[in-house]
Amino acid sequence: MNNDFFNNVIQEGNKKIERAKEILELQKENFMEAQNNFLKSNLGQAINAGIDIGLQALLPDVIEDEVIAIKDSLITEGFSAAINTAIEESINLGKSTIGIITGTFENVSQIKKAIKSGGLIDSISEVLNSGIKWIKEKGYVKKGTANAIKKGKDTIIKIIDKNVGNELENQIEAIDKINGYIEKWHRYYEERNFSNMEYQYKKIEENLEKVIPLEDVLTKARQVENLHELIKNNGKNFDLSEEEKNLANMLVK
């Protein structure tokens, strides 16, 4: 590979390589915020879905449109903000409790321990109490409906707890899949089997979008992506110089 091509790879790059650089720059500058935002988004969705399922279970005789209206009354902008605050504060408390001093999680097991230690579910319960009281006082729902929701709040909390647990288990599964695809990619790389490498590469990309940013996982995945793109841009020719091979590592430092 001549210098012109090598310089072109660095200067113009591939979109995926550029995305790798951006994400890893984010790791350096604000990796903790990236993790927190991911957790607030995904756990928030799990909590929201739990409330939805819980309301339907508590109000079986209420038609679906009315259940949606009740949920919309409960899930206001202020309520969502309170949920985000509860998630963030419980995570920060959990980190302190389990002794994470770097500010970032290294694996999902740490996240599970932090959420449990930080009392996320208890915090969500308190937010629900406030929300139910608010919609009752404002007259957004009938008194009997509000009382039924309050009485059955534990049912909603159990569903939320289960949803949060399922979300974290999904994270573990997705990360395990990525590690498996990376291992297979390296095996096919040694065999110089680009077709099978391409399949594993696409699977890495597909699952990488679903997982919380963890430095170890992202670094390994980006190294694969960068080397893959170098080979692809070299006409699927595996004969790269050591300098060119080192580019994969250079772009993730």
Query: Running along the chain, 253 residues long, what does each successive block of 10 average in pLDDT?
Result: 54 54 55 81 90 87 75 78 88 85 81 88 90 86 86 92 92 92 95 95 89 86 87 84 68 50
pLDDT for 184 equals 96
pTM: 0.74
* Cβ partners under 8 Å of residue 138, min gap 6: 73
In the numeric block, which tokens belong to residue 137?
């006082």
pLDDT for 22 equals 59
pLDDT for 155 equals 93
pLDDT for 8 equals 59
